[in-house]
Amino acid sequence: MENIHATCVCVDGDGVLIRGRPGAGKSDLALRLIDGGAKLVSDDYTEINNDDGNLMAHAPGTISGLIEVRALGVVRVGAKKYTNIRLIVELTPRDQIERLPERLNETLAGVSVAVLKLDPFDASAPAKVRLAVRATRENLWVEPEMPGRGKTDEGTGDE
């Protein structure tokens, strides 16, 4: 078992780890996802482990069901006990995010997980997280065909 600095929510049945420096917006993004139907798993610190090839996450006992909401304080919310992590959201300033990035993965506890770099304060951030969870679950990712990425320019066949 490993304790990491990350907030975790369950979106449409799949776990999302939200990572970033202190004050970066982890709890804020989690709150907006929860407001849209996600369930809190753990705020600020999350315990992870490899369970037969699945990256599982749950809250340390002392903070289970609690979320820190800036300007409100620590609040008890309905929480899910554990979840299987499908996506890592790396909170990143907008000017450091590529428009059409290559797909990223990271290995935690021996399990490879998709990574999404995201500015948490974009109005569309919760929608992007939900779409990324779905895209990862249903294998909907499309690598962009861009110069310098090794793709050939074969056209669309519409000519």
Report the catalytic residues: 5, 26, 44, 99
> What does the angle CA 26 – CA 28 – CA 30 come to, to the nearest 5 degrees?
70
Can you name the residues that pair with 49 across neighbouring β-strands? 56
Query: 4, 23 in Cβ contact below 8 A?
Result: no
Task: Report how far apart, in Å, the C-alpha atoms of 56 and of each of 9, 44, 73, 142 are.
Answer: 12, 16, 28, 27
Task: Report how far apart, in Å, the C-alpha atoms of 143 and of each of 57, 93, 128, 150, 155 are.
Answer: 29, 23, 17, 11, 15
CA-to-CA distance for 158 and 7, rounded, in angstroms?
46
